Every structure is written in structure tokens, then in C-alpha cells.
Amino acid sequence: MGKVTYHLTIKEMPETERPREKLRTHGAASLTDGELMAVVIGTGSYRETALELASKLIKLLNSEGGLKALLDMTVEELSALRGMGTAKACKLLASAELARRIYSAPVKDRMAVRTPGDAASAVMEEMRHLKKEHFRIMLLNVKNHLMSVEDISVGSLSASIVHPREIFRIPIKKSAAAIILVHNHPSGDPSPSQEDINITHRISEAGKIIGIEVLDHIIIGNGKFASLKEKGII
């Protein structure tokens, strides 16, 4: 008879470390990829927790090119992973398809950006693991609905790279009412640097002259974010 290994269940974990509790308290954007998958999966098996099963699945997906590989997988392929089963596989594929449909939804069906958390949630999963700094702008209409997210530059931020003329060219062309600046910190720490603050002030002042308000500057870390609006910098 094989040796039985005892696993700490999610219910036995401290509440602050449980995926569902973290989601309830801090929002879905605060969860790692593995924690999000564990919430969808729901339960593990007598061999492993839902978190351990999710971690195993992420390793499989990474070997296939990343999370997007889930969109191309079948129920049979997922079910072949020990501990998964048909029901869990169906839940994951349904969640992946919902995410695909949300991302490709027409503008009129897209989210309204009312808070810094709304803005961060719109880009968190795409930007949190980027290896270089990506500077983007979120274009909003008069009702604060997200029109699009536009790439501006890749690389460490500097005043020469992130120039107001590059920032406002697209919003003017697309008749945006306001914009939100957003970039990531590959270190995972979203704390704003002095350069981040200087650039924010410069672009915000230019926006006042042009007539397109800069509502916020969101800095994306690994599962967390900083809002310069909330910090009183804008």
C-alpha cells in the first residue's frame, strides 16, 4: 500500500491566503494566474489542492506558449491532466471562452471605467508579466466607456520617449473625451518613480491645454497597482 502524503487544504490556509477571500477583499486583479484558476476549478483532489492543480496546469500551458494556449485546448486534453476531470475542464474552457468574447466585444458592450480598480482590471492580466516597460493610454468617451487601449512606447520611461505630441495624437484622431495613462513595472513593484511623477505632471498639463483630461496614471505591478490619482499626484 502506497504512502499517503498529507496536503494542507485551502480551508486550512490562513484566510488572507485563500484565493476566494483575496478576491472578495481585494478584487480579482489582486490574484495570481494560479489563484484565479483555482477559484474557477473550485476543488482539488485527495492528492492535491485546487491551487496545486492550477499550478500544474499553468506549467503545462507555459510549455505550450502561455495562458492563451488554453483557448486551443479540448476537454479531452485538459481531462488527461491527473486530478482535472471533465467537469473542471469544462469550467476552465467556458471561462477562457468568456474572456475571449469579452476581449473581442464591440466598444458599445465594453466596460465603463469609474475607478482606478476598473482601469487596472482592464489591463492587469496582459501587462503584469511583461518583461519590459510598456506605456499605453486608455481612451474614454464622454460616458467614461473604454474606447480602446493604445500602445505608445516600449522601454524605460523618459520625457523624450513619452512626449505629449505622441500621447495626444491618437485621442485627438479618435475624438476621445479623456485618457488614462498606464504602464507596467517589470519588477512587480508599482510604486511610482520620480520620473513617473514628472511625466504625469507634464502630460496632465498638456491635456488641460488641448482639452482632453488625463484622469489618472495607473502603474501595473505583479497583481497590484498604483493610482497616481489616489496618491494625489494628479
Domain end marker among 103, 120, 142? 103
**Per-residue pLDDT at 196:** 92
**Per-residue pLDDT at 160:** 46
Cell of 176: 476621445
In a domain, 75, yes or no: yes
- The kind and range of the H/E element at 214 are strand 213-220
Domain end marker among 103, 122, 157? 103
Which CATH number covers residue 174? 3.40.140.10
Pair 199, 118 in one domain: yes
In a domain, 119, yes or no: yes
Q: Look at the chain and report how many structural domains it folds into.
A: 2
- How many Cβ atoms are within 10 Å of 16's Cβ, its own excluded? 9
**Per-residue pLDDT at 134:** 92
Pair 38, 136 in one domain: no
Question: Which residues constitute the domain of residue 149?
Answer: 107-227
Residues 6+ apart with CB under 8 A from 190: 219, 220, 221, 224, 225, 226
**Per-residue pLDDT at 48:** 83
In a domain, 4, yes or no: no
Pair 97, 127 in one domain: no
Per-residue 3-state assignment (H helix, E strand, C coil) for 139-153: EECCCCEEEEEEEEE
**Per-residue pLDDT at 166:** 83
Query: Which of 159, 170, 173 lies closest to 203 in space, CA to CA?
Result: 159
Pair 54, 146 in one domain: no
**Per-residue pLDDT at 94:** 92
On whether the CB atoms of residues 91 and 41 are closer than 8 A, the answer is: yes
In a domain, 1, yes or no: no
Residue 32 DSSP SS3: coil
Pair 196, 130 in one domain: yes
In a domain, 233, yes or no: no
**Per-residue pLDDT at 206:** 94
In a domain, 180, yes or no: yes
**Direct distance between the N- and C-terminal alpha carbons of the chain, in angstroms, rounded to an integer:** 65
Q: What is the mean pLDDT of each run of 10 residues along the chain (234 residues)?
A: 49 66 82 88 81 89 84 88 89 87 60 90 87 92 91 69 83 94 94 93 94 96 94 89
Pair 114, 222 in one domain: yes
pTM above the 0.95 mark? Answer: no
Query: Which of 182, 70, 69, 64 lies closest to 124 in space, CA to CA?
Result: 182
Phi and psi angles of residue 196, each rounded to the nearest 5 degrees, phi first? -60, -45
